[in-house]
Chains A and B, each alone.
Chain A
Amino acid sequence: MAVLAARNLRKSYGGAEVVAGVSFAIAPGECFGLLGPNGAGKTTTLRLCLGLTDPDHGSIELMQRPVPGEARPARARVGVVPQMDNLDPDFTVGENLLVYGRYFGLSEGAIRARIPQLLDFAGLSARAASQIQTLSGGMKRRLTLARALINDPDLIFMDEPTTGLDPQARHLIWERLKQLLAGGKTIVLTTHFMEEAERLCARLAIMDRGRFITEGSPRELILRHIEPHVVEAHGDGVMDWSDREAGKLASRLEKSGETVFCYAADPAPLLSSLANQGELRYLHRPANLEDVFLKLTGRELRD
């Protein structure tokens, strides 16, 4: 039984269809990733699932309840880590958790009993009495995650949980999310970080212009959409080399700025050609999710 199911969701703003026919179902215990460039419709999809805005068409079931009709009781079983930090700046770390727990109708005693556990999970046990302004970006994110767990939710929505964090803070968040998954929680994650999606998500969808353009496990998507090897070359004369040699040796080429990306099933001919080009620098690596993402959504900027 799916914890979240959406069928043919559509939502338009001022004539522009932001979500243009999206369907998916998420099983308990799964980590589902929603990838897409800015403006692809990811956040709107999450808002629809939470019942914060009504779809123009389609149906949603969250925790076996119809949304938006029964969105409010459904949200009692759900946690949300929003894209933008909205911790209460007037409160301490501990008060943020206490006040948030009250919104769920939890008893004062139940919340107070749970706070030390959550602070420990977030690595903030020593900071219970700290003001929010004194926390680092990573601490704030961890507190936001702890706040989303105050009601011991079955399903957690995370909208770009590690955007703006340094690598140390990001790794710590990933470790905590893995802990939650190991504990049986279901996670729906939007992200720009392919590494994050590859590490955490068993299944993901790439969204662009309001539609899911592909769906599957990270490995499946790489196999399905892209050649297994990538050779990136740059340096003086790389465009000449690419026109002269690479075009014949790679199954597909992409040029971005001063770099040529050569995709191939067999990288050996490319590498031996490059070995004779003293002035070119190159990198050979296996294809990854980012290659899939860029192939499917294009390299031009989306603002």
Chain B
Amino acid sequence: MHIFSPPSMSLRFVPVWRRNLLVWRKLAVPSILGNLADPLIYVLGLGYGLGSMLPEVGGVPYIAFLAAGMVCSSTMNSATFEAMYSAFSRMHVQHTWDAIMNAPVDLDDVVLAELAWAASKSVLSGVAILAVVWLLGLSGSVLSLWVIALLPLIGLTFGALALAVTAMARSYDFFMYYFTLLVTPMNLLCGVFFPVEQLPAAFQAVAAFLPLTHAVAIARPLLLGQIPPDAVLHALVLLAYAAAGFYAATVLFRRRLLK
């Protein structure tokens, strides 16, 4: 197999995905609560605290504006953490991948399984926030159900990008660069906390290239009961990031582990 050949995709990833699911099931309740606590504090703290001092943002109360941002951002964070810290532990610390590759499962299958798992776990986080948003009455539209279909795409996008980073990591410290250089800027520039239009033109231009912008651009109208303009275009941008990230991750893992 050439190092640059396209990832081989097969259902052999399923048992590896199930392995991660079995581990997660043992810690499911603390894991969900842990994933929920952080974004919930943001929604409530910023939404009610900051929101009470603000006029309407984008034509709605601030907390309703913030909801879509937090759904996207916490889905991104969940996929990112899983594909970086947890996948790195399995690959580098526990040597779980080595054990799996002695069975009739290839590295490509393992990478696909990690991507699918990171996306699955992030969907759970996203759905948990979404449930809170509904319970708080921040979105009453039937259209908001479509966000559930968007969550896997967000998970695949950020899971794939994070896996490419993991493939290059020598230690956990390496992940700080990705958080500092990409995750934090995305959380602040991509319309999670305030409309992108509030930023200077140069920042807006940067934001237009960042994947989280496109996730928020689909989720926010849906939660507010509108059909998102250019939804297909935004989805294609996310899909392109997911495909590029997955391909890069596959090539980088092959270079690292099959040498």
Q: Check B141 for interface membership: any CB of A closer than 8 A.
A: no
- Beyond A52-B101, A82-B99, whether A68 also contacts B1 by CB under 8 A is yes
Question: Does A91 have its Cβ within 8 Å of any Cβ on chain B?
Answer: yes
B contacts, CB < 8 Å to A: 1, 12, 15-16, 18-19, 22-23, 26, 94-96, 98-106, 258-259
Assess A99 versus B259: contact at CB under 8 Å? Given A86-B96, A105-B104.
Answer: no
Interface SS of chain A: loop
Say if the beta carbon of A100 comes within 8 Å of chain B.
Answer: yes
Whether A95 lies near B22 (C-beta < 8 A) is: yes
Q: Which residues of B contact A68 (CB under 8 A)?
A: 1
CB distance from B31 to the nearest CB of A (A): 13
Residues from chain A with a CB closer than 8 A to the CB of B106 are 72
Structural contact, A100 and B258, CB atoms closer than 8 A = no
User: How far does the Cβ of B223 sit from chain A's closest Cβ, in whole Å?
Assistant: 36
- A97-114, CB under 8 A of B: which get 1 and which 0? 001101111000000000
Interface pair B98/A91, CB less than 8 Å apart: no
Say whether A58 faces chain B, with CB atoms less than 8 Å apart: no
**Which residues on B sit within 8 Å (CB–CB) of A73?**
104
Partner of B103, one of A84, A88, A104: A104
Asked whether A103 and B95 contact (CB < 8 A) given A53-B258, A95-B22, the answer is no
Please give the residue numbers on chain A whose beta carbons come within 8 Å of chain B beta carbons, in ascending order.
Answer: 13, 50, 52-54, 68, 72-73, 75-76, 80, 82, 84, 86-91, 95, 99-100, 102-105, 147, 151
Whole-angstrom distance between the alpha carbons of A50 and B200 in the complex?
A: 56
A102 touches B18 (CB 8 A): yes
* Distance in Å: Cβ of B142 to nearest Cβ of chain A: 39
Chain B: CB-nearest residue to A13? B259
Chain B residues near A100 (CB, 8 Å)? 99, 103
Q: Are A88 and B104 in contact (CB under 8 A)?
A: no
